[in-house]
Amino acid sequence: MIERRSAGEIEAITAAGRLLSGAMDMARGMLAPGVTTGEIDAAVEEFLKEEGATPLFKGYRGFPASTCISVNEEVVHGIPGDRALVSGDIVSIDIGVGYGGWCADAARTFPVGDVADERLALIEVARGALAAGVESLYPEMRLVELSRAIQGFVEARGFSVVRQYVGHGIGRKMHEEPQVPNFVDGSVRQATMVLPEGCVLAIEPMVNAGGYEVTTLENGWTVVTKDSLPSAHWEDTVVITESGGVVITG
């Protein structure tokens, strides 16, 4: 069942989104060669706690940190730690925020120092894929139209979209109905599911420079590309309104 949120509820989710946006800006400002992913994670956690917000990932199914930070060939769910960033890295930062009983979720991939053109292109395609998804939104549309908009944008540019991880509804909980694939999966569910006005989605294309296949490292969390080529991840929490998609974490 897909929830339709009232104006008041959307305002409350937007308050969580605004805090997330502030945390993301702060994290972006820290990015430099020599900074560790653990330092960024600690700063985000402190920022959120000072605002009275909760980092939703901490303890989620046992996840040990407040953010997911995934570098280069890491796709999602990277565990922050003592890894120091170097010039040429691309870094995906994923943050979930709980505030006033509501949730918001967003991710960005940023370059560190002097980054190769093809990696910058990958980041732009992931960002553009999210934008294409948001632009496709209108009330009572079918889920498959959103998935097709994202996949089409990515594949037209010669990159691939991860299939194993998908976006999701969000609201009282971080993960709600429906699952939001970034590709057309051929299912009846996807072809027939209607997205109502007032529904809130975390749309999150994960885009690979090479093939779409991924695998999980022995730590049980970090997802990497099978071909070890880089990956980028952009995510926003978005409301479907009468006039289209409105990003509340941008």
Q: Are strands 102-111 and 90-99 parallel, antiparallel or unpaired?
A: antiparallel
Rg (CA), the chain: 17
DSSP single-letter state for residue 159 = -
State the nearest-atom distance from the C-beta of 192 to Mg ion, in Å: 24
| Total binding residues toward Mg ion, as defined by CB under 5 A | 3
- Cβ closer to Mg ion: 41 or 204? 204
State the nearest-atom distance from the C-beta of 168 to Mg ion, in Å: 6
Tokens describing residue 237: 């929490």
- Cβ closer to Mg ion: 85 or 202? 202
State the nearest-atom distance from the C-beta of 145 to Mg ion, in Å: 20
- What does the per-residue mask of binding to Mg ion show for 98-117, with x meaning CB under 5 A? -------x------------
- Cβ closer to Mg ion: 97 or 224? 97
State the nearest-atom distance from the C-beta of 105 to Mg ion, in Å: 4
Q: How far apart are CA 170 and CA 166, in angstroms?
A: 13
State the nearest-atom distance from the C-beta of 86 to Mg ion, in Å: 27
State the nearest-atom distance from the C-beta of 169 to Mg ion, in Å: 10
Q: Do 240 and 197 meet the contact criterion of CB atoms below 8 Å apart?
A: yes
State the nearest-atom distance from the C-beta of 249 to Mg ion, in Å: 10
236 near Mg ion, judged by CB under 5 A = no
- Cβ closer to Mg ion: 107 or 112? 107
- Cβ closer to Mg ion: 36 or 110? 110
- Cβ closer to Mg ion: 92 or 225? 92
Residue 194, Cβ neighbours under 10 Å: how many?
12
Chain centroid to CA 104: 10
Beta bridge partners of residue 238, listed in sequence order: 201, 247
Q: How far apart are CA 95 and CA 146, in angstroms?
A: 23
- Cβ closer to Mg ion: 89 or 176? 176
Within residues 192-211, the interface with Mg ion by CB under 5 A covers 202, 204
Q: How far apart are CA 237 and CA 174, in angstroms?
A: 10
Q: Is the dihedral of CA 177, 175, 223, 240 positive or negative?
A: positive
Residue 128 Cα distances to 54, 95, 136, 188, 219, angstroms: 29, 20, 12, 27, 31
Residue 115 CA neighbour count, 13 Å, CB half: 23
Q: Do 161 and 207 meet the contact criterion of CB atoms below 8 Å apart?
A: yes
Applying CB under 5 A, the residues found at the interface with Mg ion are 105, 202, 204
